[in-house]
Amino acid sequence: MDSPTFDIETFEVQKQALRDALSSLRPDQRRINFLQQGVDRLQAQADAIQATRPPGCWCLGAGGRGMRYLGESLGFREYCACEAGAAAKLAHEREATAAAARKVETNLIESGIPFRALQYEIGTSPADAKAREAASKWCRGAIDSQAMLLTGDTGRGKTGLAVGMLHHCIRAGSRGLFVNVPDQLARMRDVAGGQRDEALATLRKRIATDPLVVFDDIGVGRWSEWVEETVYSWVNARYEDPDLASVFTTNCSVAELGEHIGARSTWRIVEMCGPQGIVKLGGRNLRMTAAAKVVSA
């Protein structure tokens, strides 16, 4: 038969409440005696349970004391050294692990990563080895730059590598956002004025707050004054807060990028990246290689 348990937190609260009531009463011996009997009964219950507990146990079978939120789940501030304490600690650790996994899943769903790219990690990215190494170092903080600019011709694995970097951030417990710049601009362009402003404000709020944002295919598409101003507002939001990290992918060189998004945005990106944060991907055109295999099959 299991040993009885006792809620030590409730016991202490009830006992203190009775003591407070005793101290606040006028001298009425009958009422004082009645309340004192309540205190004595609570103490007798605690003593009876304590007699069944192993040496060194102070939790009365509750497992600990000081219930509080630890991250995303509840846990004790202090755990008892008894079996009940060990069981409570294990249960709380499992719940914390499950809560962290749920948080990662939610952040992945809300990140906007395209379905076709969900499988990419830095280590499994189709990008060349040198680029994967640079991305890994940047994610570990070994490259001192606020942002990384991945350049290179079409089909070199820039998007896959950027998604892998975003995955790394999200699995570490942070929020992150994937923005395909030309697609996002096209969707905004097709929305009516009031709705467009609301959609832009919602997107910009995340761009201005998420710890990592990937801007994919920046510089692709038709230039217009509206495009330049919109992209600048996104880039500048990242630039103004040095604690926010960004990854940009583009088919353009730095000089060409300025022709598509304007000098203000381009030089902010260059400044955030620094000399170590601009990486050109080489290798074969992976899309053409994949298409050749399909044709020859």
Tell me what pLDDT residue 137 has: 95
Q: Is 76 helix (H, G, I), strand (E, B) or coil?
A: strand
- Residue ranges and CATH numbers for the domains of the chain are 8-105 (no CATH), 115-296 (3.40.50.300)
Q: Which amino acid appears at position 74 of this protein?
A: L
CB-CB neighbours of 223 under 10 Å:
13
What stretches in the chain show pLDDT beneath 50? 1, 288, 290-295
Tell me what pLDDT residue 1 has: 45
Q: Are 213 and 207 in contact (CB under 8 A)?
A: yes
Q: Are 51 and 61 in contact (CB under 8 A)?
A: no
Report the alpha-carbon angle 178-184-189, nearest 5.
Answer: 165
Which alpha helices (H) appear in 157-252, and where do they start and end? 158-171, 181-189, 193-207, 225-240
**Bridge-based pairing state of the strands 278-280 and 64-70:** unpaired
Q: How far is CA 81 from CA 73, 134, 280, in A?
A: 21, 46, 56
CA-CA distance, 93 to 96, in Å (whole number)?
5
Half-sphere exposure of 100 (CA within 13 A, CB side): 13
Which residue is it, tokens 């990563």?
A: 113
Look up residue 173 and give its two tokens: 């417990």
Report the alpha-carbon angle 233-243-105, nearest 5.
Answer: 90
CA-CA distance, 120 to 217, in Å (whole number)?
17
User: Among 77, 80, 54, 53, which Cα is nearest to 67's?
Assistant: 77
Question: What's this model's pTM, rounded to 2 decimal places?
Answer: 0.74
Q: CA 186: distance to chain centroid?
A: 28
Q: 281: which strand partners?
A: none
Residues 198-201: contacts with CB under 8 Å, at least 24 apart:
200/230
**Bridge-based pairing state of the strands 64-70 and 73-79:** antiparallel
Tell me what pLDDT residue 293 has: 46
CB-CB neighbours of 125 under 10 Å:
25
Tell me what pLDDT residue 146 has: 96
CA-CA distance, 268 to 99, in Å (whole number)?
38
CA-CA distance, 110 to 210, in Å (whole number)?
11
Name the E strands within the chain: 64-70, 73-79, 147-151, 176-180, 212-216, 245-250, 278-280
DSSP state of 111: T
